Structure 1
Amino acid sequence: MTDTLTSGAPSATGERSTLLKLYLIRGVLAVVWAAVFAGAHDSLDAVAITLLVVYPLIDAVSSLVDHHALPAGSERRITAFNGVLSTLAAIGVGVAGTAGEAAVLAVFGAWAVISGAAQLVVGLRRRGPELGKQWPVLIAGGLSFVVGIFYVIQATGNDPSLDVLSVYATGGGVFFIVQAGLLALKARSSRHPTTG
């Protein structure tokens, strides 16, 4: 769910194009990951742990691409932070996988909280007319923050389950795909302005 993608380039058209591709790819990867993980996590074996590591790495790579496209400034620093955070989360869930579902859920939840907050900040900074209102990204970031807290709490309970992670990834993926669609509509309307 959690991604910071790109803004701040001189060309609004270029910004939209880069954002559209990143949001779309990120969203599709999240949905595919969710489908694969849903059928692979019955036991916390090497395959399940590998998938758990891969998910935050997708976010880290997205942040890296975004970071290279941004000019110097606070948004670029937040994107760099999110990339480092996601890389550490990948390492963390890999290590936690050897300790059981509760540990994985706790690490994943902590990552979701912090990266969700970062996504909210970046989404708010991208609410200009050229990049749309960013509401799908803002909703995804807000849900990531709230759900992450729930995961951390659930990890301390008697029956922690990783089933929720597929739902998390699916929701985030859908919101990113919707945001890509809105950017595509914005680009189309900019190329073909309505005349009175």
Structure 2
Amino acid sequence: MSTQTVPQPSVADDGGRSSLMRLYLGRGVLAVAWALAFAGAHDDVDAVAITLLVVYPLIDAVSSWIDYRATPDGSERGVTAFNGVLSTLAALGVGIAGAGGVEPVLHVFGAWAVVSGAAQVVVGVRRRGPELGKQWPTLISGGLSFVVGVFYNIQAVGDNPSLDVLSTYATGGGVWFIVQALLLGWKSRQLRTRTV
């Protein structure tokens, strides 16, 4: 008895674009909502602030897991899995760092932003084909995450480090994800129009 292998859909097909669009849109909206919640809750690094700090990388970890399941086998899938594991470790690290105050939180968050930003750039480059809208918002977001993460680590050892910057970071990341989702939606409509 022979078994037939069913080809896995490409992330660049219409279903893959729709899945990515929903993922990016949800991720973007959650990031902006998190930023609004954190802006009013981080004056002291208390239990509420630490909980929110743990939740943010967990949003990224869950998003990476969803993306991993929807991505065909290959190196892109490996980077997505790496980012999911990294974000889970970042959530644990930020939770522990919260007991030490602002400086350790900025160090952990900054280190996570650097590495996850680099991973996001790699995924964006691998998805850069015209079917997925060139991925320029993802590339910009990943690049900014890398640069900002370096800045957070510098700020952590400077005078008056503050967690205010994290709300700005989450808002910026959320907006870029929403822009990428809108771009994917536009690309899907454009490709459907061509086939009609």
Q: Offset of 1:69 from its aligned partner?
A: 1.1
Q: TM-score, normalised by structure 1?
A: 0.93
Q: How does 1:47-196 map to 2 (within 5 A)?
A: 47-193=48-194
Contact 2:64 2:83 in 1 (8 A): yes
Q: CA deviation at 1:193?
A: 2.4
Deviates more, 1:10-19 or 1:79-88: 10-19
Alignment TM-score, normalising by the size of structure 2: 0.93
Partner of 1:5: none
- What code does the residue aligned with 2:80 have? T
**Deviation of 1:10 (Å):** 6.5
Asked whether the equivalents of residues 12 and 131 of structure 2 are also in contact (C-alpha less than 8 Å), the reply is no
Structure 1 outlier segments of 4+, above 3 Å: none
Residues 155 and 173 of structure 1: is their aligned pair in 2 closer, same or farther, counting only changes over 3 Å? same
Residue 149 of structure 1 and its aligned partner are, at CA, apart by: 0.2
Please give the root-mean-square deviation of Cα atoms over the aligned residues, in Å: 1.6
Deviation at 1:9, TM superposition (A): 1.9
**CA-CA distance at 1:62 after TM superposition:** 0.4
Instruction: Select the structure that is richer in helix.
Output: 2
Asked whether the equivalents of residues 114 and 149 of structure 2 are also in contact (C-alpha less than 8 Å), the reply is yes
Structure 1: tracts of 5 or more residues without a match: 1-7
Instruction: Tell me, in whole angstroms, the C-alpha distance in 2 between the residues paired with 1:155 and 1:48.
Output: 17
**One-letter amino acid of the structure 1 residue matched with residue 41 of structure 2:** A
Percent identity over paired residues: 72
Contact 2:32 2:175 in 1 (8 A): yes
Q: Equivalent residue of 2:99, what SS?
A: coil
Contact 2:110 2:149 in 1 (8 A): yes
- Residue identity opposite 2:164 in structure 1: D
What is the number of equivalent residue pairs in this alignment? 189
